[in-house]
């Protein structure tokens, strides 16, 4: 009886799919670059290597929608990031098939409600209000990958666009029994057992756009990592100008652990032990522009300045600034070639954030195909 019921149910679904107004799209990006950087190890050697794209991560995915009538749609998206140089999934946990996004939901005139693994509110906001649209090299996007979670598991999200207003709110369910009773775990991971919440709002009026974001996550013992920011943009002729601020307060130690590249970096356990009482505090100002020089050529420049307090779980402070320049040339609507350069400089306690020197310079050339 049970087997027959399942067969009949599957048959009715297949029959119904022939009449429903549905769409499923296979999409993706293939992006790879050759990169050189100096001071790449503890001895100060340079390194030339093949790696991911300067701005976009290679990915493939499926997304679809079914018209349910009365303006209501069922939606889903499954997306996996990968690296072309190795063919491996990018940053995936064991057994994770879709490491970027995996959700299903409903959308209508009210907006959209989605459930599953999703981008954070910080990623959603700064994807529009950062000149690099959240860069992809660690050297040009360290502030996002370390100070703010980019994606979270077990999230229910609401998003809506109403004229020039764009809003979003997310809540990620913690799945560890009890109230932060698990005494071990990796505070740097986007694990399934840590709670998260965030909100963002932005408004565009003519050539202007402005908005802000706040989000908070916790490690498995309840320590908070908070991130907030505001940003503005302005379109004038062939230029788009960006200006903004990002702030953070981290009691988990995750930010310092991810930032540290020096052989002289303190141990992770030492950082975590100090972070609860001496939470890292970041104040980042940024500015940038994109210039559509010709229909085929676009040039982007960005500058970030960070003043960090209580670095590495201590009471010491440090500073870091980053400059990035990228030129992209479109060979077609789907294929671009590009050149990129970036420079990082650190001082004070932030010296542990670079491998062997207080500065690092990198250049790259790459190709991107969108399908």
SS3 of residue 322 by DSSP? strand
Calculate the alpha carbon distances from 291 to 128, 239, 240 in Å: 16, 5, 7
Per the confidence metrics, is the pTM higher than 0.85?
A: yes
Calculate the alpha carbon distances from 223 to 181, 219, 227, 274, 279 in Å: 12, 5, 14, 12, 10
Distance (Å, rounded) from C-alpha 262 to C-alpha 256? Answer: 12
47-52 vs 22-37, strand pairing mode: antiparallel
Domain residue spans of the chain: 26-370
- What is the per-residue pLDDT for 119? 96
- What is the per-residue pLDDT for 91? 78
- What is the per-residue pLDDT for 52? 97
- What is the per-residue pLDDT for 20? 57
Check: CB of residue 225 under 8 Å from CB of residue 195: no
Residues found in the chain: 371
Half-sphere exposure of residue 87: CA atoms within 13 angstroms, side-chain side: 0
Instruction: Measure CA 216 to chain center.
Output: 15
- What is the per-residue pLDDT for 342? 98
Structure tokens at 327: 């030129």
Say what angle helices 138-147 and 121-129 make with each other, to 10 degrees.
140
- What is the per-residue pLDDT for 12? 39
- What is the per-residue pLDDT for 222? 87
- What is the per-residue pLDDT for 264? 87
- What is the per-residue pLDDT for 131? 97
- What is the per-residue pLDDT for 177? 59
> Can you name the CATH fold of 26-370?
Porin (2.40.160)
- What is the per-residue pLDDT for 193? 55
Judged on CB neighbours under 10 Å (0-12, 13-18, 19+), 34 is: middle
SS3 of residue 1 by DSSP? coil
Check: CB of residue 251 under 8 Å from CB of residue 279: yes
Calculate the alpha carbon distances from 165 to 201, 205, 209, 281 in Å: 7, 9, 10, 30
Q: What is the pLDDT of residues 244-263, one digit of tens each?
A: 999 999 999 999 999 999 98
Distance (Å, rounded) from C-alpha 179 to C-alpha 175? Answer: 10
Distance (Å, rounded) from C-alpha 330 to C-alpha 186? Answer: 41
Q: What is the pLDDT of residues 314-348, one digit of tens each?
A: 999 999 999 999 999 999 999 999 999 999 999 99
Specify the DSSP element, H or E, that contains 115: strand 111-119
Distance (Å, rounded) from C-alpha 321 to C-alpha 308? Answer: 11
Residues of the chain whose pLDDT is less than 50?
Answer: 1-19, 179-192
Distance (Å, rounded) from C-alpha 290 to C-alpha 302? Answer: 9
Q: What is the CA radius of gyration of the chain?
A: 22
DSSP sequence for 125-141: HHHHHSTTSS-SSHHHH
Angle (CA) 187-211-282 rounded to 5° is 40
- What is the per-residue pLDDT for 189? 47
Q: Cβ neighbours of residue 14 under 8 Å, at least 6 residues apart? A: none
Distance (Å, rounded) from C-alpha 293 to C-alpha 208? Answer: 21
């Amino acid at each position: 009886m049970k087997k027959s019921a399942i067969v009949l149910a599957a048959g009715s679904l297949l029959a119904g799919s022939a009449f429903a107004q549905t769409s499923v799209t296979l999409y993706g990006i293939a992006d790879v670059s050759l990169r050189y950087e100096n001071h790449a190890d503890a001895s100060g050697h340079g390194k030339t290597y093949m790696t991911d794209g300067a701005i976009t991560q290679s990915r493939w995915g499926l997304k679809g929608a079914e018209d349910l009538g009365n303006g209501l749609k069922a939606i889903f998206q499954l997306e996996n990031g990968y690296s072309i140089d190795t063919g491996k999934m990018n940053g995936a946990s064991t057994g994770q098939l879709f490491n970027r996004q995996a959700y299903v939901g409903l959308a209508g005139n009210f907006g959209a409600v989605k459930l599953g693994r999703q981008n954070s509110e910080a990623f959603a906001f700064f994807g529009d209000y950062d000149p690099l649209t959240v860069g992809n090299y660690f050297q040009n996007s360290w502030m996002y990958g370390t100070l703010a979670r980019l994606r979270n598991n077990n999230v229910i999200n609401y998003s809506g666009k109403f004229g020039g207003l764009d809003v979003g709110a997310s809540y990620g369910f913690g799945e560890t029994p009890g109230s932060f009773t698990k005494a071990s775990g990796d505070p740097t991971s986007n694990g399934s057992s840590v709670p998260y919440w965030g909100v963002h709002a932005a408004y565009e009026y003519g050539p202007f756009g402005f908005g802000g974001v706040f989000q908070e996550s916790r490690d498995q013992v309840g320590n908070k990592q908070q991130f907030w920011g505001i940003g503005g943009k302005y379109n004038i002729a062939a230029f788009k100008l960006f200006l903004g601020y990002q702030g953070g307060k981290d009691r988990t130690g995750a930010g310092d652990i991810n930032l540290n590249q020096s052989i002289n970096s303190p141990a992770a356990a030492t950082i975590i032990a100090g972070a609860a009482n001496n939470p890292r505090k970041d104040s980042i100002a940024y500015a940038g522009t994109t210039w559509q020089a010709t229909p085929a050529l676009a040039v982007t420049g960005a500058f970030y300045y960070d003043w960090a307090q209580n670095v590495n779980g201590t009471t010491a402070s440090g500073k870091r600034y980053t400059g990035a320049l990228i030129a992209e040339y479109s060979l077609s609507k789907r294929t671009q070639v590009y050149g990129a350069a970036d420079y990082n400089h650190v001082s004070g306690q932030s010296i542990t954030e670079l491998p062997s020197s207080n500065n690092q310079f990198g250049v790259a050339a790459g190709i991107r195909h969108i399908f």
